[in-house]
Structure 1
Amino acid sequence: MMLKKAKYVFFAVLLVISASNVFSQTIEKDGRGICPNGSIRLYINNPNDYTGFSWQIFDVTSNSWSSYRNGSSTANSYDLSTSDAGDYRLIAVPKSGGANVVFNTVTVVNLTSPPSIITPANPVHQICKGDALVLNGNIETGVYYNWRLNAGALNVTVPTLNAKEEGDYTLEVIDQTTGCVTTSAPYKISYFPPLNPVITPVPAVCATSVPTFNINANPTGGIFAGTGIVNTTVGAFSPSAAGVGSHTVTYSLPQNNGCPNIVESVVVKVNNPEPKITSSTGGNEFCIGQPASLEASTGFTTYEWKKDGVVLPEITAKLAITSNGTYSVKVQDSDNCTVESSPFMATFENQVQPSITSIPSVCGTNHAAVPLVGLPVGGVFRVNEQPASTFDYAKLGIGTHEVKYQISGALTCLNGTVSQKVVIQRIPEVEFAGDIFMWKGAFTILQSNITDPGYLYEWLPNSYLNDATLATPQAKPDATTTYTLRVKSPYGCQDEADVNVVVFEKIWIPDAFSPNNDNVNDFWVLSGINAYPEAEVKIYDRWGGVIFYSKGIYTPFDGTQGGKQLPAGAYNYHIIPFPNMPSLELKGTMMVFR
């Protein structure tokens, strides 16, 4: 029972599979139908599963299917392009084997296209170049518009077009649902034949001084305009009015049929080459021995240099020079305009050697101001780095002053400086502290307030001196003498002064005596002391006590104090010949013997 049931199931499945192979296949088409003068493509999506394709069309007359012939041959491909309406089917052999498969029937119908008509706003076929003619297409619903000029798309998708170019205009009207297209009859537009003006080219004008000339154009009757045109009818062009530069001149020619003028133009180039010579120094002067050059304006095609009228071999814009002369350069520009520069006078200079009139060094400031004079003229004086025109001794004062004269020029060789040191020496003022007192037979040092070793010294008289040219000589006169000191500075400034050397007679002081009443050295006798009536004599014991004092006329010391004999021994003494001259005080020790 179960085996029988399984058999029925297998048979049912086999029937389903067979039915699927025969009836479930679908024919596709690439449109809704056939547009006028068009076709439609029929095809299946799985052609690789089949072979032996055969397309059939239903013949209404015979009420039967017949093979569809595409022209003179039978259609035997998986796809079919046809322009005939009707019912179509496809029979194919499965590559997997089994019975032929009959694809489903598909119906192809004929479609209609929307109308396309061009109507000009103005019924003309000729326009002026630059004008436009409005072309209107028929207004339809459910359509697209596409304008073409000479079959090329204009990317205009509205029913109205402003046609400016000449050629054949067509309008495609496309049904939005079926895609059927109707192309209008072409509407031809052309331009009125133009009168094309031609201007004779004008060669470059080489100077603004060239006289006015006419620019030629054909046909005549137009109007000239532009910078430099001084007569618009004949095209008179004035280079001086135009100036240097490239000037566009237009020629406007009227047209027939009321069309706009056609304008042609020409460029008139006015040159005025003016070669200028500049120098490496920026002027006409150069330094001998230093590099020097001249340079002409750049931008020219050729250069010809001359010196004193003689052509030089240099042919570039730069020329090295080494000597005086008159230089010039002839240039030519790219338009073959030739001109020669103005002459350039070159002068070579030696290194300047400035000098100043010597200014004397002096002693003291009591001198008239000296005008400052330098050569070459035109320089600047400075005294101690301050601008000056005179050297004023009184204002400048004692010291060493620098006078500087500086010449400044545009060139290094025209720059120079010279200087001089001027010394205003202080005049020596010789002074002595006072008279010098000394004992006869002794020596003293003569010294003023000036001891500078750079000075010259002269003592007069030169007697009793160890060296009369020293600042501090030793003097040992045997009598009071007045010495004169002359002092001269290194710059010759001098002064002199006197000093008195007072020589006193010497007091003879015994270094011992014996007061024993033997009438020999019983007294301490000071020989010569009576020459000093104001003299003071003091004798001290070992403890510093005064045991003897005398002032005025000296009474010799007898070795007693208050009538009592002093013991033998050493005693100190102070002898002052002049109480107001403590420097002459005599000190020492003497012995008392018994």
Structure 2
Amino acid sequence: MNKKLITGVVFILASLSLQAQSGLGFCQGNSGDPIFEEDFGQGTENGPALTSEVTTYEFVNQAPQDGQYTISNNLMQLGSFHNASDHTGNANGKALIVNASDDPSSESGLFYQIPINGLCINNSYEFSAFLMNVYDTGNGVCSGIEIPVNVKFQIWDETDTNILAEGNTGDIYGTNSPVWEQFALTFTTPPGQNSVILKMINNGIGGCGNDLAIDDIVFKSCGDFTEIVNENGVTSLQICEGETVNKLTLEANPDFSVYDTHSYQWQSSADGENWTSIPGETDNQLIISEVNETQFFRSLVAEDPMNINNTSCNSISTTFEVEKIDFIDPVSLGEVFICDGVVREVAVEADSSIRVDWYDSENGGNLLAEDTFDYEPENNGTFYAEATTVEGNCTNPDRVAIEYAVYETPELFDETLEICEGESISLSEDYSHVDYLWSTGEISRSIVVDSAGVYTLELTTGDNCVVSKEFRIETIPSPIIANISKTDNALVIKTTFEGDFSYSIDGFSFQSEPVFNNLEGGLYTVYVRENNGCGVVTEEFLYIDVPKFFTPNADFQNDTFKIGGDAHFDTFKILIFDRYGKVLIRGNKAPFEWDGTYNGKNLPSDDYWYQIKLNDKVYTGNISLIR
């Protein structure tokens, strides 16, 4: 198919669609109360059937086929229908469910008609209904040959011979989810016509997809759009609790879209639902001397004053609401009495309908915080929450008082203390008017402890505030000498554990290092002292000093070979050899001294070897004789 032909077809289809929907439309002004309503009732059982005067279709209890209908609270009467409720969603609310007839004639397509009597001549009306194509396209039953719903709304005269108005909905195709859509037809009764017949006709033939539901059919009068405003041109007013509006002037402003002339009857209501006519108020203006409560005002409007109270002929203006905004009292979350060091706010219960400001006085005073439901005071005192409604901006003059107090408590700090092993220490705090409780169970101001550990003290004030501290006790043991040795030319002291120790070999002069160098041989008393006063230990050590050389040259410096400290041993023996193993000298008594001679003759410079036995220990080595 060429592009020109396609374009022509699209244009023709669009034109037909616009023509099909011509005539339908809603009342552009204000409507009156419904003259006729049909919502098909409520219940869990299908039906009841409509009379033959209402429909030409056949009633069935369920699963209507072509040319049949049912009335049910569930639209899913066939597997291809939407699983949905009526338009309003009311519990068990029903709707009329129609399966289009396979006969395309208008008589077979007429599925609903109803007469309406007692109308006014030359008056506008609106006929409306909610429709749904109940075919669920998600199940794919129609396989691309779906026939759309297309409904014609008609108004006939009372003789059912002359059509007064009509309009088509246009094609309503199935959807994958239920969609209710409202359609309406407006018309004006001609002279001498006070009764009409409402009709709905299915334009399409039966088949897959042409299945519909109808709900909430309404027929009502249609009049001007009449708006109620006050002297400032606004359509509503809010007042705060306790406030009074004096001389409220309201005015009805019609738009002359339907009526040429206007008659009025003002009405008032306390709830916006139940209305009462105000005697004598029939002008387009209403003056209310005083309003201090929620009130609603509107006006019935008709072209002829004789029809002002006739629901079949009048319309109803917009509603002017005077809304009284009641003050809201903030709900306190309680007085706040806390112990020093605890952070907490004064607060009221969060409420989205108000905002809260905080003050330091019941009236006036200083603004402390804005638009917050809690406030953290810096000082003790009473603080006041003031509520202002979000809607209407009404400030409650009665502020909510909340007392806030912080109790003073002793300031305690943890301590770490050291004691010498085997000693004791007194732990204490000195506060009056408090109760003491130690982790040992004692309740005195002080306790004495003699072992390492953590001791906790709790103080409870007269305001029941509890503070605590820890005493961490560490014991310092006395030093223990593990070993004393001669290493090279030094006396070296080792302890069993490290500590804050100092060392001495005379009991007077102490040093931090456990090493003493260049000592003469002899018997020494070694001292190890704990520097915090936790004890001194001593041990004797015989320091043997065997020289490495001697120089018998009569200069009084190292002229003889002698062993420092040998006199302190019970058993002493020494042998001196030359390099060939010849014994040159022996000794069995200390102190021992050798001048470097053999049989009265000086031995030459050379290395000589020795074997020394001190008690049960033997020392060997060599010594150099230097001349």
TM-score, normalised via structure 1 length: 0.35
Task: Name which one, 1 or 2, has greater alpha-carbon Rg.
Answer: 1
